[in-house]
Amino acid sequence: MNARLDHRNPLVFDTHELGRRPGALQRLTRTVSAPGAPAAFGVEGVIGVPEGEPVELDLRLESVMEGVLVTGTSRATAEGECVRCLEPLRLDVEADFQELFSYPDADDRGRTAEPGDDAEDEERLFVEDDLFDLEPVLRDAVVLALPMQPVCREDCPGLCPDCGARLEEDPDHHHDAVDIRWAALQGLAESTRDGEKDDMSGDAPGSARVDEKQEK
């Protein structure tokens, strides 16, 4: 079950006015500030909603037999870094979610206990003193809505793999590459040419001596 909830927390909602009559509805809108670590709305080092950034919430609370069914939409602006050009970026994120917050006495209100319920209860969220905490549900929804490989735009050309230059600034940027299959042959050809030059330079003194003998 949730720890003691603080009604002053903007992500803690009061269901007292909703009541427990099945079918009762309540609609809420609220703007909250994104929390920081360790409950940050994002993936560290990749992209996320910065701490303090406003998050707009539209919620629908429905009373059911087992608890309060919360359906909602969140909107916020995330910040990150383009995975192609490494430039900072901002993008709007919208996340939908739905979660059942169970009454602590749900089993006593008609729910039949099944084998393995203890393990299942560890993953359930509860209403405590007519309060529920939306933060874990909202965090999961926002993180899942974020791109894991954010780009500043779909056709971002990225960086040159050889020197790291931004291809956006120099579309004609390129490097003359030598096919590695020909690199060895090119080296052999250069060695052969160097050897031929050495031979030619070595023949000149010998030829001069022969000419001198012939003259004598």
Specify the DSSP class assigned to residue 13.
Answer: E
- Three-state SS at 21: coil
In tens, the pLDDT along 77-128 reads 999 999 888 889 999 999 999 999 999 886 554 454 444 455 555 678 999 9
The overall pTM is greater than 0.75: no
Radius of gyration, alpha carbons of the chain: 36
**Does 191 have pLDDT greater than 80?**
no
The rounded distance, in Å, linking the Cα atoms of 69 and 101 is: 6
The rounded distance, in Å, linking the Cα atoms of 57 and 55 is: 6
